[in-house]
Amino acid sequence: MKIWILPTLLVLYTLSVNAQDNFQLARPLLKYPSVFFSNEMAVEMVFAEANTQIRYTLDGQEPTENAPLYTQPVRITKGFTTVKARVFSKIYQPSDVIEATFIKDGLPIKSLENTAPNPKYKGSGAMTLIDNKGGSTNISGNTWLGFQTDTVEIVMHFYKKEKVKDVLVNLLRDYGSWIFLPEKIEVYAFKNDAFQLVDNKTFKQDNNVNGSACVPMVFALKNGIKTDKLKIQLYLVKQIPDWHAGKGNKSWIFVDEVKAY
């Protein structure tokens, strides 16, 4: 009987080691109030498994075992900073990468005007678009303005004439809730007593993406534009494409933050 004990234990040990080698760690949790911030943001990283390490980067690179070790909340002070984090262990496969991009406040905005949103998704009024509470895919809260009109118009009033180099619009894509990116976005600057078109983009609806995601759209204005007012015009997808269950119906547009830099 003793003859079989040792080989059996060796087999079990080998299977155990191989199982550990093949086991992949879960991703860490990133904790923060919003991806938008005014002056600085503290990002906490959490993973409960013992004998593991969280490594992270702030330069867009994938975290490796040589990346900075997380020991305390990471402070973000620069706009458009992408945090990437990953869990490592000596006995398990590293986790997949989790990431979030943090966006700093732009030029001070005196007031906003916008097309009236649907009453079900009216947030806290126009200030919803500049309250730095956006960046969540949850549409049941009050951080989004939801529209089902042909066009959505947002006018940003500055305290004085500013040189604007970039304009940001943060949108939601959630095909399951019939929320699509606009067909087109136009940006206008107020010059010579009239709004003048300074940039535009058109979008193709991608049927290869799943789930919901926040999509920040940035418009780079060539050489900068000096103005005290900007207008953003968004054109709704009037007929949902044939590949979608809601084909033929009007889509939704959801916006939660607009900024100028």
pLDDT tens per residue across span 193-239:
999 999 999 998 888 788 899 999 999 998 899 999 999 999 999 99
Show the domains of the chain with their CATH numbers: 20-104 (2.60.40.10), 109-260 (2.60.120.260)
The Cα 158–Cα 156 span in angstroms is 7
- Specify the pLDDT at position 6: 42
| pLDDT tens per residue, range 20-56 | 567 999 999 999 999 999 999 999 999 998 999 999 9
Residue 150 clears pLDDT 70, i.e. is over it: yes
- Specify the pLDDT at position 14: 46
- Specify the pLDDT at position 207: 84
Indicate the pTM of the whole model.
Answer: 0.83
Residue 13 clears pLDDT 60, i.e. is over it: no
Q: Are 122 and 141 in contact (CB under 8 A)?
A: no
User: Could you give the C-alpha distances from 126 to 41, 95, 234, in angstroms and in order?
Assistant: 24, 40, 16
| pLDDT tens per residue, range 42-97 | 999 999 989 999 999 999 999 999 999 999 999 999 989 999 999 999 999 999 99
